[in-house]
């Protein structure tokens, strides 16, 4: 059985000192659980100092992005190659990057490939906007995002990819609508069907699929109990140690109810 993955995306918040304080508080409140993987995604600047402070039995690190070239004249960028000693995961194709930085399907495909080439597991975000949902385009959008992003990977490589279903309308910084678990369940099974079409049933069963969008201590249990949901990508609530620890506790309770 897959471990439950709880990822905290700190976005462009917390300088090095504040990041260090949050790590310290999380460390006090979160116990290590064998079946839960807790991943922190600080800013690029805070990754290195945070990597020296975390208890590796409890926490792993993710970058929020990286550039697809390994090295070269690309002013301002950081490559997956530079991150490979620091992080286990990289968030790729977050809706804020697709929307604010115009990241294209092809660029996201190249980033996924670069992460895999550097032995970093991509957390590939997919999800439709409010308008696309209203137009009944969710299935097509998810299909296009997934098919392009995974197109340069082998079946073995796909096993290490994590997909985060993040409907844009449910992310707190956009519409922040609280999504209904039934709707999430439908899209997660759509995602697994897409992966099965591309790479077969085994890949579809093995791949981890997370949900993200306004996950809070109040909603976490319902989302984490969805069939086929392997965890959560948490934005806003991950900046608050009480809320983030409560989400990890909820994951623990859900796992223990199920066993
Ligand atoms: C996110 O940043 O990926 C996210 C889901 O944010 P929030 O939990 O704040 O909606």
Q: pLDDT tens digits for 13-34?
A: 999 999 999 999 999 999 999 9
Ligand 1 touching residue 189 (CB < 6 A): no
The pLDDT of 219-243, averaged and rounded, is 97
Ligand 1 touching residue 233 (CB < 6 A): yes
The pLDDT of 62-77, averaged and rounded, is 98
Whether residue 119 lies in the annotated active site: no
Distance CA 113, CA 255 (A): 32
Query: Which pair of structure tokens corresponds to residue 114?
Result: 């670069």
pLDDT tens profile 156-200: 999 999 999 999 999 988 888 999 999 999 999 999 999 999 999
Query: Which pair of structure tokens corresponds to residue 81?
Result: 């190659």
Residue 17: per-residue pLDDT? 98
Q: Is 17 exposed, middle or buried (0-12, 13-18, 19+ CB in 10 A)?
A: exposed
Confidence band for 234, pLDDT divided at 50, 70 and 90? very high
SS3 for 128?
coil
Confidence band for 74, pLDDT divided at 50, 70 and 90? very high
**The one catalytic residue among 37, 94, 103, 143:** 94
Q: Does pTM top 0.95 for this prediction?
A: yes
Q: Which atom, in ligand 1's list, is nearest to the CA of 94? A: 3
- Residue 89, strand partner residues: 62, 121
Whether residue 94 lies in the annotated active site: yes
Q: Which atom, in ligand 1's list, is nearest to the CA of 171? A: 10
Asked whether residue 219 carries a pLDDT value surpassing 60, the answer given is yes
Residue 259: per-residue pLDDT? 57
Comparing CA positions, the residue from 243, 217, 249, 241 lying closest to residue 21 is 241
Number of Cβ within 10 Å of residue 58's Cβ equals: 18
Asked whether residue 245 carries a pLDDT value surpassing 80, the answer given is yes
pLDDT tens profile 79-132: 999 999 999 999 999 999 999 999 999 999 999 999 999 999 999 999 999 999
Distance CA 194, CA 125 (A): 15
Q: Which atom, in ligand 1's list, is nearest to the CA of 11? A: 2
The overall average pLDDT reported for the chain is 96
Query: Which pair of structure tokens corresponds to residue 47?
Result: 């990754």
Asked whether residue 241 carries a pLDDT value surpassing 80, the answer given is yes
Q: Which residue has the tokens 């993955």?
A: 5
Residue 174: per-residue pLDDT? 87
Ligand 1 touching residue 212 (CB < 6 A): yes
Ligand 1 touching residue 234 (CB < 6 A): yes
- Name the closest-CA residue to atom 1, ligand 1: 235
SS3 for 239?
helix
Q: Collect all residues with Cβ–Cβ distance below 8 Å to 72 and sequence separation of at least 6.
A: none
Q: Which residue has the tokens 């504040």?
A: 18
**Contact at 8 Å (CB) between 237 and 243?**
yes
Distance CA 13, CA 42 (A): 8
| Distance from the alpha carbon of residue 95 to the mean position of ligand 1, in angstroms | 10
Residue 257: per-residue pLDDT? 84
Residue 2: per-residue pLDDT? 80
Comparing CA positions, the residue from 114, 108, 113, 111 lying closest to residue 127 is 108
């Amino acid at each position: 059985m897959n471990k439950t993955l709880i990822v905290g995306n700190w976005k462009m918040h917390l300088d090095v000192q504040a990041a260090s304080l949050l790590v310290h508080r999380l460390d006090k409140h979160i116990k290590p659980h064998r079946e839960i993987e807790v991943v922190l995604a600080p800013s690029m600047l805070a990754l290195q100092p945070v990597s020296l402070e975390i208890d590796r039995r409890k926490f792993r690190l993710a970058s929020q992005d990286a550039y697809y070239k390994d090295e070269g004249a690309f002013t301002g960028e950081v490559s997956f190659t530079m991150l490979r000693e620091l992080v286990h995961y990289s968030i790729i194709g977050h809706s804020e990057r697709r929307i604010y930085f115009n990241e294209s399907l092809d660029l996201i495909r190249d980033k996924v490939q670069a992460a895999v080439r550097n032995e970093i597991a991509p957390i590939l975000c997919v999800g439709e906007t409010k308008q696309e949902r209203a137009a009944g385009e969710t299935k097509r959008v998810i299909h296009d995002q997934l098919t392009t992003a995974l197109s340069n990977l082998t079946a073995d490589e796909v096993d290490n990819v994590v997909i985060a279903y993040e409907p844009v309308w449910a992310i707190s910084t956009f519409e922040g609508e609280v999504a209904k678990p039934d709707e999430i369940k439908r899209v997660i099974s759509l995602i697994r069907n897409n992966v099965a079409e591309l790479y077969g049933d085994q890949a579809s069963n093995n791949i981890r699929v997370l949900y993200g969008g306004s996950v809070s201590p109040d909603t976490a249990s319902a989302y984490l109990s969805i069939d086929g949901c392997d965890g959560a990508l948490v934005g806003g609530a991950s900046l608050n140690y009480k809320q983030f620890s409560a989400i990890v506790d909820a994951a623990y309770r859900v796992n223990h109810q199920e066993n």
